[in-house]
Structure 1
Amino acid sequence: SLGCGNPVALASLQPGEVVLDIGSGAGADLFPAAQRVGPTGRVIGVDMLEEMLARARKTAQQRGYTNVEFRQGDASHLPVEDGSIDVVMSNCVINLVEDKGQVFQEAYRVLKPGGR
């Protein structure tokens, strides 16, 4: 689905996985994902707006999250290394992007073989 939902539940996240949240905003889905992947996993949030990333960083610091990181970027040009992600998730973002095909190409680029 390209709309809104509960990506953390749908992704069946496992401890130790590396997750990318495209359009992570203030972290509404990122922080539950970080809890699921645990201390051996990691969640990377990418958002276009520095203001949203600042809010997420503040929340992470206040709540003691050590397995999250935040990067400013665009869904069509993700600031993420090739083949480095186990799971890509996004909530209420891809439906707003004009070139959805480019976003999916980027998601595929950053996924590890067998990633989802």
Structure 2
Amino acid sequence: MPAFATSTGERIPLPDDLRGPLRQLIEALLRGSSVVVVGSEDLLTTTEAARLLGVSRPYLVRLLDGARIAYERAGSHRRVPVAEVLRYREARRRQREQGLREPQRMSQEFEVGAIRGTLPSPQKCV
């Protein structure tokens, strides 16, 4: 099993399921990107959550008020669970991908219909 070596020479076994995330982390750092590691139970401020989603803070607040993302109150402040932010981001990614696939599917159906001659004949507009 691969292992991580500390500065003192201690070897820490590296499970297979950590290899991918660690590789991504190292590659991001080498590109000069900033990286933040948070636990899935952590709570974010609205500013942090908005930054993670790549949206403005006012837009995030509208998502929270519209119950699109769950949040907690800490006095008068909103705190957003990291897991909820990631859930919303993944759902948005899936919607985007599906939206990109739909026109492609429709185009393919149109091309198949044109080849087979099964397209409806044009209607005259009166």
**Structure of greater relative contact order (alpha carbons < 8 Å, 6+ residues apart):** 1
User: Whose radius of gyration is greater, 1 or 2?
Assistant: 2
TM range (shorter): under 0.3
User: TM-score, length-normalised on structure 1?
Assistant: 0.25
User: TM-score, length-normalised on structure 2?
Assistant: 0.24
More helix, by proportion: 2
